[in-house]
């Protein structure tokens, strides 16, 4: 899957969790959703994008969620 599609999907997940009053809980929810429903290849592409491109195009909270939960996403 191309990275643009993955960014769109990740941002949609971020949009859902944006309404959570607890920012840390929202980031954990983003990471958990990605871990449960995305294939390993998709997760690895997103991680590579976050690490190599400063999470360009991703909502701030999504980039933070990926960085903070790297061990569980791999």
Q: What is the pLDDT, as a whole number, of residue 4?
A: 98
**What confidence tier does 68 reach under pLDDT thresholds 50, 70, 90?**
very high
Query: pLDDT tens across 15-55, in order?
Result: 999 999 999 999 999 999 999 999 999 999 999 999 999 99
pLDDT value, residue 12: 98
The pLDDT value given to residue 8 = 98
pLDDT at 26: 98
Full domain range(s) for residue 9 = 3-73
> Which element (helix H / strand E) includes 30?
helix 23-37
Nearest CA among 54, 74, 71, 61 for reference residue 29: 61
Look at the chain and report how many structural domains it folds into.
1
Nearest to 52 by CA among 67, 32, 33, 72: 67
């Amino acid at each position: 899957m191309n990275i643009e599609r993955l960014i769109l999907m990740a941002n949609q997940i971020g949009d859902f969790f944006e309404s959570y009053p607890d920012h840390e809980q929202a980031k954990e929810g983003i990471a958990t959703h990605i871990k449960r429903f995305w294939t390993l290849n998709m997760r690895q592409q997103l991680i590579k994008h976050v690490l190599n491109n400063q999470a360009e195009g991703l909502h701030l909270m999504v980039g933070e969620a990926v960085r903070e939960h790297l061990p569980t996403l791999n």
